[in-house]
Structures are given as structure tokens and as C-alpha cells.
Structure 1
């Protein structure tokens, strides 16, 4: 049976005649529970009876746990929910940059959907980032429910308000649909300008759909493997590139220890971010021949790495190669300490490696690749029931390879080329930053 106790106020170290009431009840472990601050005995007793009723029903939540600060529980939740390194880094960034400034010291029980929705409208970031922040908060609050700190998650299943009218942020300039993919002639011109080693990375991305992390992590042992399937009483065979299920992606992020403290840049191999991205990609014959020639002279384990064999940082690769090759560059005259450098006209300003991944899927659509094979080769999860019932066949694979080969050959003809690169004396010497006349040094490679 719940009961109530007087709690006298103290002023200057002396008890006064003023008092409030403390609710008391028996907790599941047999020890007394309490909660102070009630103005009347009746309210305190009613609160205690409510706690005992919840205990009997098996749904009791300790009021002291409801008062745990959001920041304290969020750090505990982060330790208990390990993810891929890049995901952990993104979560900590959301917490530190957006969530903690407002909610770190707020008791869990005081967080309401009204307040959270109002707060996210004021965040000085893109709407999609605000959505990610709210989603992460909701996941943490669900964890609080699971840990019996709360009865319900007030954020679960709620649709956040999106700013409209004058309150809406001004949209950033976005690429048009035509700017998100490159014509085959553009891909070949980029590849030639970049040279055999780096240019092959561009060409491979456009004709296989490898993501940046997948291409940067590509080991020579996973290039030109063979797919072999029974077909029409014979065997269908083709070369493939394998995205390894254990080390198939190069991840780059700010490292964190279990307590969230920064530990420095991490550049390491990790499993692909989902099961669909671990896959074997069929390689057209022209690309297989170029990869074979590259591997015969390339001295390193990883196919698209720096001249010294270490992994590229994405920003360094983009700045040193993709931007000057796609956007063009100014000529430099010779002077002391600097060699002469020819200027370049732009090929496709703004082109990115991500656009080249879009390019591959666009080519697949252009040549009519069946959906089951297109999703499979791009590493995407096909929505709906068809992912269960439809599967790629050797005939589909053959048609896709034939179509990609045709795109490549047509582009060569349109450019009036017979090959992309003349014979290169040393592939390592071909890998030099295009915005500088100087060859990469060992020191700059390590920083890459």
C-alpha cells in the first residue's frame, strides 16, 4: 500500500514549518521507492498507488530513470549499437553539431514531439540533415523505451514539418539530369587526358558502376575472375570484378573511440555498406583487355591506388585529377622551379566519380538491360516482389556485355580514335596530379 511522508523545507540550515509531500511505495525488489515535491498528501498517495498498479501490471518505469539526461543515455546507446565506422562517425557528427547543443542536458521524460519538431525547423542545415538528426533522436528514444527508461517514444512514427514559403531555405543549385551522367565520348576523353593508370579508373567506373570506395579498394586478386554458368548445353563464361564481402570498400571518416572522442582520420578497408553491394560485376571484353594490360605492368596490390601503393583520399584524388581534367586548367609558363604546362579546355565541368556511377546505370537503361540484371550489377536492392521471382540469366548477361561493348566502340569511332592511350612507358610515372607540372613525391602520396 502506497503512503506519503512530509518533507520539511530547510532555510539557512534550519528546518522551517513549510513542507511538501513525498510519495512512497514498494518497488519490485522489495525496497521502498519515492518521489518528492507534491503539494498535498492525497496527490502523493495517488502517485504512489499509480506506481504500485504499474508494478502489478508489469509495466512500471522507475521515475528516476525517466530523469536521465538525453546526452547521458545517447552516449550509452552509441556504445551499445556499433555500426560501420563511417556510420558511427556520421552519428557522432549529428549529435555534436546539431542534437547535443539543444538536448544534451534535457531529461528523457521532458522531450516531446512538439518541441523536437519546432527545434528541427530552426536548424541551420539542409532539410535532409535535419531529418537525419530527428531520425537519430528517435532511434535513441526507442532505445530508452527498450531500456525501460520511458514508456513510449514520443518521436516514433511522426512526420516532421518541412519549411515552406518564406521560411523554406533557398535551394542550392542542383545538377540537371543531363549533368549527372557523361556521354561515352566524354568518358573516353577524360580517360585519355588522365593517362592509362588514373584514366582506367574513370573508364572502369563508367562501364561497371563501381562506387568510389569500391574502386579504391579493388585488389588485383578480385579483377578478371571468371563467371561460369551452364547455358544452352554449353558454358557461358565472362570476366568479372568482385566487390569483396569482407574488404570490398575503402572507408574514410573521422575515427571515434567508444566514448565518442576523436582519434584521427581513418582510411581502411571495410565490408560494403549492405549485402547487395558485395557482388560480381561482368566486364566487357574491351575493358577486360585494358585491365589485363594494366595489371601486367602495375606493381601494386591495389588496382587504383597512389604511385607508391597506398590508398587515395577521395578529396585529394578529386582535386589532383578529376577537377583539372573535367573543368580544364590554365596554362603555366616556365620559370625557375616550375616547368611549362599546357592549358586545357573543359571536357565536362563539374563531373564527379559519383556521376560516373550514374553513367553506368544510365548506359544499362539505354541498352535495355533487364531489371533483375541491372539492379544486380549496380549493387542496388530491387524493390517489390520481383526481386524474389526474377533473376539474371546468361542470355541477359551476354546482351548487356554486347551493349556496353557497342557503346565503347561507337565512341571510339565518333572520336576517330583506334585506341584510348598510346603505349605508356611506365604506368607509375603516368600518375601525377594534373593541376601541377611536378610528379607526386613520396611525402605527398602518404598524405593522400
Structure 2
């Protein structure tokens, strides 16, 4: 039980008759020192009441150590980031949000003074897209939950709260899409783009459009995981098809030390994003054929790397990919510069993410069943059905037939019967 004692004031080195009361109360088990105190109470009763209240909060688990009460959001956020090592790209994204949006407002605010009203009011004033506002508030909530678990606050005031969204002014206007076409990319766009970019990059384009790996997953695809064989019992026989085994990916991000200081950009091989992303994707026959001969031609272990064997960086990739999609003007031949033909636009704004989205759109168009559609896209299917419904060989065969038919129809629609000037899509392998 807390107890109080007089503390006499001292003036010029001499104790006076004036005094206040100091209370001592027992700290939680394991705390050093085992007893804590607080001074400055005008009466003994007030001091003892305050001390007893601290001991009650300790028993109920709601007590906050006085040494932690003044810790600011910025101080704890840096501690949190140093102790929560995520995938490199995730860590970089979190630091970007902290430095560019969150810390300029909340760095010096004590954790215990953060309220949902203030956070909700602030996020409405942010000059970024609404989805980015949500990500910033979500990251703040994650950090506040960590602060609660570490004993800095008793409750996370942001947990489970719904943000206020703008409903006036420009909030209702539709944002201009990157691709200005209803329905997005078509399989015909993927075929034309692959033809324009040549065999090595063209196979990468078609693999993304008809098998759906993410950008980093495509860069990380190893030849040892390409065109493996899936075998499943099917009726009285066996279902057999080639697959891509997606088990790792390349991530490009700004590396930081444990204090958040920038160290430069790196491109690093990492495990896939989550357990749903590690998967085997069935490959339709036309794509298996193209990949088989690409493997025969390509000298490097990573089948979608640069010609020199290193992973593509986004900037380097865009130098060739963007003009192929958006078009370019003719460049006249002059001294030291070769002639470059003009390109008509195929689909301005098209990117590799849109080609991955095309794969998922095609799955819906050809009626791929949900268990297989989620698996092929690398998405974790929500709900209890993911535990009950599994992809069957019949579903897999139906998907492959649909993608194969879609490819050849697209080839016919753009007037192509071959790719890259070959007589057909086959050639003799090297002896």
C-alpha cells in the first residue's frame, strides 16, 4: 500500500518549516527500482490517494511507466521500425510514408496525446490520393498498436476506426486512368507489343499477360523452375501440364540502416510476398513452346533478366518498354546516330501491372473457377471456401484451353500467323 512522507523545502541551504508530501508506491514485479515516488502534493491524503490509484492501475494492467509517458510518436516509430524487419520493399515503403507524410505532423507529439479526432482531421488535409491517406493511417495504427503492446499507451485510439472521406469539391471526380480505354488492355495489345519488342522481351510480355506473374516474380523466375511438370490423377488417367514455379522475386528499393538513414537503392532477391504468392502456374501450350525455345536461346539462369544477365531496373526497362507502348517519332540518321523507325502507339499507359491484370481479366472471361483463378493470380482467397474448394484437373484443363484459344484468336485479329519473322512458332533446338 502507498505511503506518504513530508518533504521540507530548503532555502539558501537551510531547511524551512514549509513542506509538501511525497508518496511512494510499489512498482510492478520486475521493475527497477522496485519502489517509485511522486512529489509535490499539498496534503497527505491526496498523496496517498494518488499512490493507491497507481497501485490499482498496476494490478489491473493499465498503468503506464512515468518514464514512458513523455515518449513521442517519432521516437517510438523509429524504435518500431528498427525492431520490425520486413521485406526490403515493404520497409522502404513504410519509411517513405513516415518521412514524407506522417512524421512532419506527428514526430514530436507524445504518444498519449494522439487521438482519433486529430488523426482523422489531419488525414483529410493530406494532398495525396485517398488510398495513400488510408495507408498512412493504417501504418500509424500499426505503430500505435506496437506502442500499446510495449506499455507506452493503454489503448490504440486508431484501431478499428473508419476514416472520414471527402464528399465535396473535386472528391467525386473520376481520376484519369493510366490507360484511356474501357476494358483496359486486350490480348491483341500483348501480342503486338511482344512482336515489337523481340523474342527475349516479348516472351516476358506474353508470360505476364497469359500466366500473370508480378513484375518482381517474373524477374526472379529461374530456369530450374520453368516448365516443370504437374501430374495429377484425372479420371482413369493422368493430367499432365508444364508449370512455372514462382518461389522468389526481385525487389528494388532504397536500403536503410536501423535508424532509417538512406543507404542507396538496391535490387535484392527475396521470398515471395506471402504464402499465397508461392505457387505453381499452369502454362498454356503456345507459351510453353515459346518458353522452351527461349530457354534454349538464353544463356542466363534468370530467364527474364537483361542481356548481360543482371535484373532489370525499372528505369532501364522503361526506356524500351514505354516507347513500344506509347509510340515514338522517327529519328533521322546522322553522324554518330543510327536511323530509328517511328512506332505507332499500341496502348499509351500500358505497363506490366496492366498485363498482369489482363491475365486475371482473361481468367474471368473464359470462366476459370474461383479456386484456380485465385491460385493462378497468387491471391489468397477470402472466406471458408478456400479450405473446402480445391482446383481440379478439369478446371486446369478448361483454363489452359481458354487461354490457348484466346491467344490464337488475338494473333488472327492482328493479322499475325508467326512471331518475330519465323516460319512458325517452332524451330529446331540446338544439338
Calculate the TM-score normalised by the size of structure 2. 0.90
Q: Is 1:103 matched with 2:106?
A: yes
More moved, 355-364 vs 148-157: 148-157
Structure 1 residues 35 and 159, CA gap change in structure 2 (3 angstroms): farther
2:161 and 2:61 mapped to 1: Cα distance? 27
Q: Counterparts of 1:259-270 in structure 2 under 5 Å?
A: 259-270=259-270
Could you say which residue in structure 1 is the equivalent of 2:428? none
Unpaired stretches in structure 1, ≥5 consecutive residues: 425-448
Structure 1 residues 125 and 407, CA gap change in structure 2 (3 angstroms): same
Q: Is 1:402 matched with 2:401?
A: yes
Could you say which residue in structure 1 is the equivalent of 2:366? 367
8 A contact 1:226–1:238 mirrored in 2: yes
Structure 1 residues 40 and 282, CA gap change in structure 2 (3 angstroms): same
How far did 1:178 drift?
4.5
Q: Counterparts of 1:104-253 in structure 2 under 5 Å?
A: 104-166=107-169, 168=171, 172-175=175-178, 178=181, 181-244=184-247, 248-253=248-253
Give 3-state SS (helix, strand or coil) of 1:350's partner.
coil
1:275 and 1:47 mapped to 2: Cα distance? 51
8 A contact 1:375–1:382 mirrored in 2: yes
Q: Counterparts of 1:295-306 in structure 2 under 5 Å?
A: 295-306=295-306
How far did 1:115 drift?
1.8
Unpaired stretches in structure 2, ≥5 consecutive residues: 424-431
Structure 1 residues 204 and 57, CA gap change in structure 2 (3 angstroms): closer
Calculate the TM-score normalised by the size of structure 1. 0.86
Could you say which residue in structure 2 is the equivalent of 1:380? 379
8 A contact 2:8–2:16 mirrored in 1: no
Q: Render the CA deviation track for 1:300-321: whole Å, top value 9, x for unaligned.
A: 1111111100000123212x22
Q: Counterparts of 1:62-77 in structure 2 under 5 Å?
A: 62-77=65-80
Give 3-state SS (helix, strand or coil) of 1:25's partner.
strand
1:298 and 1:385 mapped to 2: Cα distance? 43
Could you say which residue in structure 1 is the equivalent of 2:419? 420
How far did 1:175 drift?
4.8
How far did 1:59 drift?
4.0
Q: Render the CA deviation track for 1:269-311: whole Å, top value 9, x for unaligned.
A: 1111111111111111111111111111111111111110000
1:83 to 77, 83, 86: 86
Could you say which residue in structure 1 is the equivalent of 2:281? 281
Structure 1 residues 52 and 416, CA gap change in structure 2 (3 angstroms): closer
1:289 and 1:232 mapped to 2: Cα distance? 27
Aligned length: 419
Q: Render the CA deviation track for 1:42-96: whole Å, top value 9, x for unaligned.
A: 5444322211222344543212212222222222222222211111111111222
